[in-house]
C-alpha cells in the first residue's frame, strides 16, 4: 500500500492532518499510527498453580527509541504471596528488550487478588505508565454488556434487535 500524498493546494489542511508539514509542501501520511513507546508483557503458564506451590512468572519490557527517560518495574503481590527475585527493577535507558522473572510462593490456597507488574517512567517532557497482571490462571474479567431493554431502532426492513436505553 502506498501512502496518500496531500496535494500542494491543501497545504494548511495537510499540515493539520499530517503533522510537521509546511504549507505548499507535499507530505506523505504514515500508513499506520505510531507505536507505543513501551510495552509490558507477562510470560507465564496459563494454568493455575497448586496451593502452597511456587510459580515462576517472567516479564518482558519492549522499549522504543521514542521515549528517553528512566523506567522502573515494580511487582505488587497480594499479602499471602511471597515474591522471590527483584520486585523493583530499573530498565536500561536504551531502546530494546529487557526480560526478567520473579518466583511467586503461595502460602496456601491460590489468592483471589492479582500480582500487578507496574512499569512507570517520566522525563521532563513525557511520561509512561503500563500495568500487566498475573491472575493465577483465572480468566481476565469481562464487563457485562448493557441491558438491551429499549425498543428496536428498526429502519425499514433492517431490524438490528433491541436497543440500549440511554439516559
- The CATH code of the domain that includes 76 is 2.60.40.10
- Domain containing 72: what range? 38-134
Q: Is the dihedral of CA 129, 88, 77, 44 positive or negative?
A: positive
Would 24 be classed as within a structural domain?
yes
Q: Where do we find the cell 503533522?
A: 19
Q: Which residues contact 13 (CB under 8 A, 6 or more apart)?
A: 6
What's the pLDDT score for residue 10?
A: 40
Q: Is residue 133 pLDDT above 80, yes or no?
A: yes
- Same domain? 46 vs 27: no
Mean pLDDT for 20-44 is 65
- Same domain? 73 vs 102: yes
Render pLDDT for 49-69 as a digit per residue (tens, 0 to 9): 888 899 999 999 998 877 778
Query: Structurally, how many domains does the chain consist of?
Result: 2
Strand positions, DSSP E, 25-95: 38-43, 54-63, 71-76, 81-84, 88-91
What's the pLDDT score for residue 151?
A: 83
User: Are residues 41 and 99 in contact, defined by beta-carbon separation less than 8 angstroms?
Assistant: no
Q: What's the mean per-residue pLDDT of the chain?
A: 80
Q: Is residue 11 pLDDT above 50, yes or no?
A: no
Residues 45-56, buried b or exposed e (16+ Cβ, 10 A)?
eeeebeeeeebe
Q: Is residue 107 pLDDT above 50, yes or no?
A: yes
What's the pLDDT score for residue 100?
A: 94
- Same domain? 27 vs 4: yes
Q: Is residue 30 pLDDT above 70, yes or no?
A: no
Q: How many CB atoms lie within 10 A of CB 32?
A: 6
Q: Which region among 39-43, 77-81, 125-129 has the lowest average model confidence (pLDDT)? A: 125-129
Question: Distance between CA atoms of 163 and 147, rounded to whole angstroms?
Answer: 9
Amino acid at each position: 500500500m502506498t501512502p496518500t500524498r496531500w496535494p500542494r493546494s491543501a497545504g494548511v489542511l495537510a499540515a493539520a492532518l499530517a503533522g510537521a508539514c509546511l504549507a505548499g509542501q507535499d507530505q506523505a501520511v504514515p500508513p499506520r499510527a505510531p507505536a507505543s513507546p513501551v510495552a509490558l508483557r507477562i510470560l507465564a503458564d496459563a494454568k493455575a498453580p497448586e496451593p502452597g506451590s511456587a510459580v515462576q512468572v517472567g516479564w518482558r519490557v519492549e522499549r522504543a527509541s521514542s521515549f528517553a527517560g528512566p523506567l522502573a518495574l515494580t511487582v505488587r503481590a497480594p499479602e499471602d504471596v511471597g515474591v522471590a527475585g527483584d520486585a523493583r527493577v530499573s530498565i536500561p535507558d536504551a531502546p530494546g528488550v529487557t526480560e526478567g522473572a520473579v518466583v511467586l510462593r503461595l502460602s496456601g490456597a491460590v489468592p483471589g487478588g492479582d500480582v500487578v507488574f507496574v512499569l512507570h517512567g517520566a522525563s521532563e517532557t513525557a511520561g509512561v505508565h503500563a500495568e500487566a497482571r498475573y491472575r493465577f490462571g483465572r480468566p481476565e474479567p469481562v464487563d457485562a454488556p448493557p441491558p438491551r431493554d429499549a425498543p428496536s431502532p428498526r429502519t425499514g426492513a433492517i431490524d438490528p434487535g433491541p436497543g440500549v436505553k440511554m439516559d
